[in-house]
Every structure is written in structure tokens, then in C-alpha cells.
Structure 1
Amino acid sequence: MTVALFIPCYVNQFYPEAAKATLQLLKKLGVNVVYPPKQTCCGQPMANSGFEHLSQGCNDLFIDNFSGFDYIVAPSASCVLHVKDHLHSDKDEKQAENIRTRVYELVEFLTDILKVEKLDAVFPHKVGIHHSCHGLRGLHLAQMSELNAAPYSKPQKLLDMVQGLETVKLDRADECCGFGGTFCVAEEAVSVKMGKDRVTDHTKNGAEYITSSDLSCLMHLEGILHRNKSAVKVVHIAEILNATV
């Protein structure tokens, strides 16, 4: 199979190590990876702000860059969900629909498509998992706690394959961190309070690291940790799954 690597703009600008880890991990697993060099933003910020009608240029460029591949994989649940739900084209809607069915967040690609059962990764630390709202309720990476249904967690399944890693149990496993894209700008005080609650849940339960499939959430939590002069760090799940001694 040939996979096109989609690196969201904020990952490219602020967390390039997560992008590199994603590429390296996929290659370790025998995947032929291609990086379309002309890719830019998927248009999610505009759409979330009520200007989806102005994001058609982003849609057209995304289709130009990512057509013709078996799969498209990205280390970002929120951007992948946006493409899955909102990628359309006035020029070629059939191609847009085709791409919507082939774009995957990294964790779901590893579990659902590659069906990974073993990883040669080592990360000897206590880790708390943050389930982003897009990943949890949009991509169904884990079971929502409010449902009376059998629990599952795709990130947990992968982290269980990492040597030395201990997952800490949280009091509220799938609570929102408060980032919410432009919500953290429009409702800063509420956003910060939610983020502080999320950080507290991890720190009081002994986490050394907070991980997630969404670096947007981790960026929000990292800011709070930094201001609190906390020793707890954030790390994208790709970096853990790719880690070695």
C-alpha cells in the first residue's frame, strides 16, 4: 500500500517531532509513505469559525495533493474528522467522497487497517491518556463513558504494547480539555478552567506525561503545565509508539 502523510499546519509549525515520529513509525511497520510537498491547511479553522464557504480553496488543494493514494494518514484526530465530514468539491465531488473514505487518524489506521499487534517501543514512564473530543466522539477511538456499552480504547491497546509504560487511571477519563479551537479564544476563562481541571486529574493520579492523538489539546494543556511550572510533559502518541531506548 502507499500512504500519503498529511501533516496539519500547527503540527508542522509547533510540533515537527510528532510528524517525524509518525513517518518513522509507519516506515518501521513496512508502509510506503509519500509526503505531498504542496499541502497546506485543511480549512478547519475557517469552517469552525463559520466561514466554511470560504474554505473551498483549501478543499480543492487537499484533493489535488491527496488523490490517487491508497490511504491518507495524519497525526491529528480533529483535522482528520474535519476532512471526513466536510471535504467537498464543486469540481469533482466523486473524488472528494473517495478521499473522505480513505483518510485516517494515525491510531485508527494502526489498529483498524494495519491491525498492529506488536510494537518494538520502549517508554518507561507513567502516562495519562487524554481522549480529544474529536477523536472520542467523532472518530470513536474509545468508548464514551456516558454510554452503557462495553469499554474499549484504541490508544490504550497500542500503549499496552510499549515496554515499561504504565498508564495511570484518571477520575474522568474522557472529559474535554477546554481547547475547542476558536473556543479557547472566544471563551478564554472557561477554556482555561477546563484545562486546569484536566491537568489536575492527570497530575494527582501520578502522570509523568500526558499523551493524545490531538496535539491541539496537548498544546492547550502544555501551556497550563508551563505556567504552573509543572514537571509533567505532553507528548504525542506517535512519539511514544516510536520511542526506543
Structure 2
Amino acid sequence: MRVALFITCVNDTLFPGTGRAVVTLLRRLGCDVEFPRAQTCCGQMHVNTGYPEEGRRLARHFVDVFAGYDAVVAPSGSCAAMVREQYPRLARTPAVPPAAPASAARTSAAPVPATASAARTSTGPAPAGSGSPGGLITGTVEAPAGDAPGSFAAEVAEVAPKVYDLSEFLVDVLGVTDVGAYFPHRVTYHPTCHSMRILRVGDRPTRLLEQVRGLELVPLPEADQCCGFGGTFAVKNPAISAAMCADKVRNVTTTGAEVLCAADNSCLMHIGGTLKRQRTGVRIMHLAEILAATEATR
């Protein structure tokens, strides 16, 4: 099976080890994994903050980059949900022409990298093997020249259903829950909002964790409550966000867990900051990193 890794901005910039863990895990399970370096941001923050046209440009680029793969796997329920749920809506909505020449000039200028890491590494070395993430996104997005009627929608309909959160791909596509992992630690799991409420991954992540040898999985009180991150929500509403995170951290510490696991590093980064400031000693780890761990790697 030819699988593409969709690394996402947060992971490419701040958590490249998560991307490497996904590659390690999927190759161990027999997948032919590739890392398309032309990939960029999926456009989630643009659409969610009122810039649908900028988001549409990124969506067009995404379907071009990831067309032809059997599956596209993302270590982020949030970004996978953006592609599966928002892209079809963007494709159905007529594009809005630029309102003024200044706007048109801005969109027709030289292509701009869609992530900070793209700008940083556009001339960097090629990844090892077929591609190993870590600040290696090099894609740029051109202003669209226009689509034939229905062509963008057809492309989205072809690509979007093949985009999976990691746990979905493992359980539903590969049909596995025991991935041969070993992680002898006490772990609690936080179900992130997009993976739980939009993708509806349900118990797939915990079913995978339950099969990890040596791992003790302990339930997280009020697990379904948001951690308070919410992307730009944490920036626009810092006091509310911090209060929500404090509640989440209090529940994490009552479990006695050594490690807090989740499927989105953005949420883990948010919770992890408070865990560290309170000197709880609880580590954060992405689901992929735990599932990639074996006795040989410890």
C-alpha cells in the first residue's frame, strides 16, 4: 500500500519526532511510506479565522500534492478533520473574486511558503530514505488560475476520503490493534476535540494503547472536556483557555500517570506547558511515538 505522510505544520515545525515515529510504525507494518516535500499547510487556521479564499488556495494545492496515493495519514485529528469535513464545503462554495486591485496584486505575487519551516528549509537537504520529516516541507502555493466547473470538487471527492487520522488508518484500513509496541509506563489518554467530535475516532486510540506490552492505561477523569487550546481560541481568549487547561491538568495529575498521550500535538503542547509550569513531572507523548516504541528502541 502506497501511503503518504501528511505531517502538518505543528509537527513539521515543533514535533518532527512524531512524523518519524509514524514512518517507523507504518513501515514496520508493511506500508510503503512517502513524504511529499511539496506539501504545505492544510488551511485550517485560515478558514477558521475568516479567510476562506486563502484556505481554498491551500486546499487546491493539497489535493494536487496528495493525489494518487492509496491513503494519506496524518498524526493530527484536527488537520485530518479539516481535509475530510471542510474541503468538500470549500469545493462547493463559489470562489470570491478579489475586491480590489491591491488584493489581486497580493495574491498574484511570487509564491510564498505556507509554513515557517517551508521558508526555513526550501533549499535544505533531501530527507533520508523516501522522506523523513523535520522542517522539510518545501512547498509553495501559487495563486489559482481557475478551475473548470466541478473539477476542484471532483478532486476533493477523490482525495479527501483517503485522508486518515493515524488511529483510523491502523484500526480500520490495516485492521490491526496490536502493532508490536512496548512501552512500560503508566499512561492516560486525552481525546482531542476534533478527533472525538468530528472524525469520531471513538475508542480506536485506547484499543491500540491497550495492546501495547508493558503499558498501564488509566482513565482520565472528564476526558471529553476540551483542554482549552482550540487553535486561535487560546490566543483570542487566553484567560478562558488557561482556566480550561488548569482543569485538564488537575484531572491528569489525579491519575498518577507518568505520561499524557493524545493524537494531536497542538493540544499536548498546550497541556504540557501547564504541566511543566506546575512541575508535575508528567511527560507528554503523541500516540504515534508510543506505538512506534519497541524493546529494541528503549
TM-score range, shorter chain: over 0.9
Match of 1:123 in 2: 183
CA displacement at 1:57 relative to structure 2: 1.7
**Cα deviation 1:9-34 (Å, max 9, x = unaligned):** 11011001100000110000001111
Match of 1:155 in 2: 205
- Greater CA deviation, 51-60 or 159-168? 51-60
TM-score after normalising by structure 1: 0.93
- Does the alignment pair 1:52 with 2:52? yes
- Does the alignment pair 1:9 with 2:69? no
For 2:158, the aligned partner's letter is N
- Greater CA deviation, 89-98 or 52-61? 89-98
Match of 2:81 in 1: 81
CA displacement at 1:118 relative to structure 2: 2.2
User: Helix, strand or coil: the match of 1:55?
Assistant: helix
For 2:179, the aligned partner's letter is L
CA RMSD of aligned residues (A): 1.1
**Cα deviation 1:150-205 (Å, max 9, x = unaligned):** xxx11111001101111112221211101011000011011011111111101111
Identity %: 43
| Regions of 4+ moved over 4 Å | none
Larger radius of gyration: 2
User: Helix, strand or coil: the match of 2:164?
Assistant: strand
- Does the alignment pair 1:181 with 2:231? yes
CA displacement at 1:54 relative to structure 2: 2.0
- Listed as ranges, the gaps of 5+ residues in structure 1 are 143-152
Does structure 1 retain, via aligned residues, the 8 Å contact 2:228–2:244?
yes
- Does the alignment pair 1:201 with 2:251? yes
1:134-153 paired onto structure 2 within 5 Å: 134-142=194-202, 153=203
Match of 1:212 in 2: 262
> How many residues end up aligned between the 2 structures?
235
Q: CA distance change for structure 1 residues 185 and 231 in 2, over 3 Å: closer, same or farther?
A: same
- Listed as ranges, the gaps of 5+ residues in structure 2 are 92-145
How far apart are the structure 1 equivalents of 2:227 and 2:241? 8
User: Helix, strand or coil: the match of 2:181?
Assistant: coil
**Cα deviation 1:29-57 (Å, max 9, x = unaligned):** 00111111111100011111111222222
**Cα deviation 1:91-133 (Å, max 9, x = unaligned):** 2220111111111010110011101042211111111100001
For 1:200, the aligned partner's letter is R
Does structure 1 retain, via aligned residues, the 8 Å contact 2:170–2:177?
no
- Does the alignment pair 1:107 with 2:167? yes
For 2:282, the aligned partner's letter is V
How far apart are the structure 1 equivalents of 2:180 and 2:254? 30
For 1:126, the aligned partner's letter is R
- Does the alignment pair 1:231 with 2:291? no
User: Helix, strand or coil: the match of 2:73?
Assistant: strand
CA displacement at 1:219 relative to structure 2: 0.7
TM-score after normalising by structure 2: 0.77
Match of 2:18 in 1: 18
How far apart are the structure 1 equivalents of 2:253 and 2:25? 28
